[in-house]
Amino acid sequence: MKLAVTIVICTITSFVSFGQRTKYLKAFKHHAVITTNDTIHYHTYSKKSIDSTENVILYLQGSKAKSLYQTMEEDGKTYIGTVIPLDFSLLPDNYLFVVISKKGLPFLTKMDEEFPIPESYFKNQTLSYRAFQADEVIKDLTKIHKNKFGKIIALGHSEGSDVVAKLGTINSKVTHFGYWSGGGNTQLIDFITFTRKKVDKGLISEEEAQREINSILEEFKKIMENPHATNKFWEGETNSYNRWSSFSEPPIDNLLQISNPIYVAIGTKDQAVALESAYLIPVEFIRHKKNNLTFKVYPNLDHLFGKELQNGKFEDHWDDIFKDFLNWINEN
């Protein structure tokens, strides 16, 4: 994963009104799982009461160090940003939508006020911790609502896809897995793959590519020599060595341990995850004679399932993929 990117937008979708966005924001209910050494904050949304829902969809967002929602007042207007790209009108009436705050980050912050990222975030910026969070939230939901949910769906995007794969190795209650914009190999190989692609496109020479690759390999060595460092960063001021070493684990190793249905979605124009890495997933499932994989490649779509148009604008297709995903859930 070249950069584990998440969506931060000022509208949930281009056709959702401000009033609707405010309604969705206010409709969230807030919960906490309190353990001996930790408190996990999660948030639920449903069109009706939780008691009327039959299925759960847990969304695991990407790597951005941001609150789930951000607001800003300017010239008498309120702007809302979010890392949740879902158009809530598409959510079935019998679904409970769940999302988890990352460690140390609140549900809501103000866009125009700096929020210092706490040390607790960097210490827990790991694959194992995010999977632990998800596991604890599912346990809490199923404990509170015993025998309630027929389907428990875990949907991860970008970094969240790695979390979904890991979650599948520790939680047996998840019935369906969504693995979006994620590769099969270690994230670290994507940097080298994209460098080689620049050579193929004639953007850099072989000599320049080798210098770039050597530099990348040296950086990997530094990361692995200081795997738990929370004060050293690479590819972004909030991507710590602790994060990179943890998320260097190849997701295919975890995906192959899952027996329930998996829906993998990747765009051919993804600039954060090498498409070649994603193709490792169906190859390995075939090699291991596993038939619980649905592998969908979306032509001309990028990491966020957007399509670049000739005029330089982008056409959003996230909702189309989500509709495909819901249909797949109903069929499986």
**Hey, where are the domains in the chain?**
18-187+247-331
- Residue 73 confidence class, pLDDT cut points 50, 70, 90: confident
Closest by CA position to 100, among listed 157, 43, 178: 43
Q: Which residue has the higher pLDDT, 216 or 6?
A: 216
- State yes or no: pLDDT of 312 exceeds 70: yes
Q: How far is CA 185 from the centre of its chain?
A: 16
Closest by CA position to 186, among listed 212, 129, 224, 232: 224
pLDDT at 79: 84
pLDDT at 238: 95
- Residue 19 confidence class, pLDDT cut points 50, 70, 90: low
The single residue listed with the structure tokens 């140390």 is 104
pLDDT at 17: 44
- Spatial distance between the Cα atoms of 310 and 5, rounded to a whole number of angstroms: 23
pLDDT at 207: 97
- Residue 18 confidence class, pLDDT cut points 50, 70, 90: low
pLDDT at 316: 93
pLDDT at 74: 80
- State yes or no: pLDDT of 14 exceeds 90: no
- State yes or no: pLDDT of 15 exceeds 80: no
- Spatial distance between the Cα atoms of 305 and 75, rounded to a whole number of angstroms: 32
C-alpha radius of gyration, the chain, whole number: 20
**Tens of pLDDT along 74-120?**
877 888 889 999 999 999 999 999 999 999 999 999 988 889 999 99
pLDDT at 302: 96
- State yes or no: pLDDT of 9 exceeds 50: no
Closest by CA position to 63, among listed 237, 311, 266, 239: 239
- Spatial distance between the Cα atoms of 108 and 74, rounded to a whole number of angstroms: 17
For the domain made up of 18-187+247-331, the CATH class stated in words is alpha beta
Residue 19: exposed, middle, or buried by beta-carbon count in 10 A (0-12, 13-18, 19+)? Answer: exposed
- State yes or no: pLDDT of 12 exceeds 90: no
- State yes or no: pLDDT of 4 exceeds 50: no
Segment 200-224 mean pLDDT: 97
Tell which phi-psi region holds residue 75, choosing left (phi > 0), alpha (psi between -120 and 50) or beta: left
- Spatial distance between the Cα atoms of 326 and 322, rounded to a whole number of angstroms: 6
Distances, alpha carbon 4 to alpha carbons 158, 162, 287, 308, in Å:
6, 10, 28, 20
173 contacts 142 by C-beta, under 8 angstroms: yes
- State yes or no: pLDDT of 8 exceeds 50: no
- What is the bridge-based pairing of β-strands 95-100 and 55-60? parallel
Q: Across all residues in the chain, what is the average pLDDT? A: 91
pLDDT at 170: 97
pLDDT at 32: 97
**Tens of pLDDT along 126-178?**
999 999 999 999 999 999 888 789 999 999 999 999 999 999 999 999 999 99
